[in-house]
Amino acid sequence: MNFTPGSSPNTLRRRLMAIASATAVLAVAATLSLVGPAQADGTSTPTPVSSSTPDPTTSTAPDPATTPAPATTPDPSTSTPPTTPTPDPTTSPDPTATPTPTPTPTSGSTPAPTSTPTTTPGPTTPSFSAAVTPAVTKPLTTVTFTFDDGNADTVTAAPILNADGYHGTYYTNSGTIGQPGYQTLADLQSLYAAGNEIGGHTVNHPDLPTLPTSEAEREICLDRDNLLSWGFNVTDFAYPFADTNATIDGLAKTCGYNSARNLGDIQSRFGCAGCEYAESIPPANAYELAALDEADDTWTLQDF
């Protein structure tokens, strides 16, 4: 507002009051414009700031320094794909490495693992099991003790055998029983009662192949009949002088024997070189059982 020079003080006072009144009116108008138009009841309705339209002449441009930059969309032609690590072909995984298992969580407190005391091993005792050669399994050999001719001194062998649980077979000539130097009937009965076998050996101990067939048959069959009549179960026979042939073998079977023993068919220091060391079981011919030569009191264990 311009003031004209030379104006009176009253005039100047009136002008200042007018200015003051105009200023007050302007202030009230400005206030009413901010509050909003009056309602019928005398209250004013506020105008929301967000719904007001900014004045294009008074709006201020945003400060580029304080405005965040828009997000940049990556260019697919220039973007680099994520890199997958390529294993080194020169490095092989350790086959001995054992993956550590993931512990399973348990409810409550988990006790601390108990440490196992480390024991220092003492000196190792060598095992001799690998150095021991296993015994070679061989077929079992059945040993039999036989006594021929019914001599009286053979009776003394029975108590020795029986003491160790063994028994013998006594091939007996029934025609000499009770004669001097020979067994008695009581001897035979005692031997038989002790578990020994009583076998046939002809009546008078002849060389059978030299006899007529009928006489050879009588010697074999009558001897068995005599022994049976004395109460002995007689099933086995022995050839006198270890002399036989196919005819004599047949006669032994005819007279009721289950087997017949020969002599000198087993290898020993005294003969039969190249022969077997034992008879087979079952034998190849039950009427020609192989056996050692007749042993006497000069034989040793090594001779057998």
| Domains along the chain with CATH numbers | 146-261 (3.20.20.370)
What residue type is 22 in one-letter code?
Answer: A
What is the pTM assigned to this prediction?
0.55
6-15, 79-88, 223-232, 283-292 — most confident range: 223-232
Mean predicted confidence (pLDDT) in 49-68: 47
pLDDT at 132: 60
pLDDT at 123: 55
Q: Is the pLDDT of residue 98 over 90?
A: no
- What mean pLDDT value characterizes the chain? 74
Which tokens go with 246?
């196919």
- 94-108, 261-275, 284-298 — which is least confidently predicted? 94-108
pLDDT at 141: 81
pLDDT at 270: 82
| Residue 133 or 121, more confident | 133
**Residue owning tokens 């967000």:** 50
How far is residue 158's CA from residue 169's CA, in Å, rounded to a whole number?
Answer: 10
The SS3 of residue 3 is coil
Q: Is the pLDDT of residue 209 over 70?
A: yes
pLDDT at 287: 96
Q: Is the pLDDT of residue 145 over 70?
A: yes
The H or E element that residue 170 is part of is: strand 169-172
| Residue 188 or 294, more confident | 188
Q: Is the pLDDT of residue 25 over 50?
A: no
pLDDT at 52: 46
Mean predicted confidence (pLDDT) in 118-126: 56
How far is residue 58's CA from residue 56's CA, in Å, rounded to a whole number?
Answer: 6
Q: Is the pLDDT of residue 59 over 90?
A: no
Mean predicted confidence (pLDDT) in 121-127: 54
Q: Is the pLDDT of residue 72 over 60?
A: no
pLDDT at 100: 53
Which tokens go with 296?
């006497």
- Interhelix angle 246-254/213-229, nearest 10 degrees: 30
When pLDDT is cut at 50, 70 and 90, the band that residue 49 belongs to is: very low
Which tokens go with 5?
């020079």
Mean predicted confidence (pLDDT) in 97-109: 51
| Residue 288 or 270, more confident | 288
Mean predicted confidence (pLDDT) in 263-270: 86
From edge to edge, which strands make up the β-sheet containing 169-172? Answer: 146-148, 169-172, 197-200, 236-238, 259-261
How far is residue 171's CA from residue 67's CA, in Å, rounded to a whole number?
Answer: 137
Mean predicted confidence (pLDDT) in 204-222: 98
15-19, 23-27, 132-136 — most confident range: 132-136
